[in-house]
Amino acid sequence: MNQLDALKQFTTVVADTGDFRQLGAYLPQDATTNPSLILKAVQKPEYAPLLRDTVAAFRGRPLDEIIDRLLVRFGCEILSIIPGRVSTEVDARLSFDTSATVTRAERIIELYQAQGIHIDRVLIKVAATWEGIEAARQLERKGIHTNLTLLFSFCQAVACGQAKVQLISPFVGRIYDWYKKSAGAGWVEADRSGANDPGVQSVTQIYHYYKKFGIATEVMGASFRNVGQITALAGCDLLTISPDLLAALSASDVPLTRALDAEAAKDMDLQHIELDEAAFRFALNEDAMATEKLAEGIRAFCVDAVKLEQLLLAA
């Protein structure tokens, strides 16, 4: 049994890509996309027709609507291949606007439903800002399920649990990147790998907290830099993995065992936390890594959203 098949025994495997032609090789349950992945995909010759066809069909409509229609087009193609859910992201430029995020999410769901896609097969991705989490709270009450992304801190996870969001995507690799850069020459890779990887430790803490207190929100580790980060989180509810790392897992027959155990978490001595807006903002501000990576992630997604708009205008 290769490592990918072994991982599927413990964890729901999710493909992190907009390149849906690669999905069949790895048989993931779900798939996630984001503005950067869609931008990357539409610049490939095999996907350019999707962009041209969408623009041609809806020329003259507002640009933000055409982008949503393109995202849904990719999502529908993905859903024709996988059995589970696809995550589609709300424009990152709305990350600090609760009402606009809710409105945009509702339109994305309506576009999916117009294509015959059931609401339960779509997760709306929203940045885990305070405003984004509040938008997710409102969407969940409407029966629209959410995936809170750009999640780097424990306080973000606590607030998402309080909001009863469907799923969170704590970012392993970007946390690892920050600590490695911060340590500089003092970083010793062997000492900070596997269970000692700071990104792995972050997801593990969140997973244990959720399981200890019966929080139903699903934990999906994301943003991996190497196979070791993935195998160290075997047993997490879900892991969303790039095609390159899915291939590496498929090519390896190194034994893999469960690393995270929900039942074991129930016996841990952990403190339950409640956060209001002021406490959330203070806790996030105290976490330099999370503050920097959240801001950086939103900025990067905004840049790629503008690039995607430019491609649509030029089509």
Q: What pLDDT shows up at residue 35? A: 81
The region that residue 27 occupies, defined by phi over 0 for left and psi between -120 and 50 for alpha, beta otherwise, is: left
What does the alpha-carbon distance between residue 129 and residue 284 come to, in Å, rounded to a whole number? 10
Tokens of 14: 């999710």
Tokens of 154: 């424990």
Question: How many domains does the structure of the chain reveal?
Answer: 1
Alpha carbon 239 to its chain's center? 9
pLDDT tens string for the chain (315 positions)? 999 999 999 999 999 999 999 898 999 999 999 888 999 999 999 999 999 999 999 999 999 999 999 999 999 999 999 999 999 999 999 999 999 999 999 999 999 999 999 999 999 999 999 999 999 999 999 999 999 999 999 999 999 999 999 999 999 999 999 999 999 999 999 999 999 999 999 999 999 999 999 999 999 999 999 999 999 999 999 999 999 999 999 999 999 999 999 999 999 999 999 999 999 999 999 999 999 999 999 999 999 999 999 999 998
CATH number of the CATH domain containing 195:
3.20.20.70
Tokens of 80: 């024709």
Q: What pLDDT shows up at residue 203? A: 98
The pTM score is 0.96
Catalytically active residues are: 125
Domain extent, residue 199, equals: 3-314
Q: What pLDDT shows up at residue 88? A: 97
Alpha carbon 14 to its chain's center? 10
Q: What pLDDT shows up at residue 307? A: 96
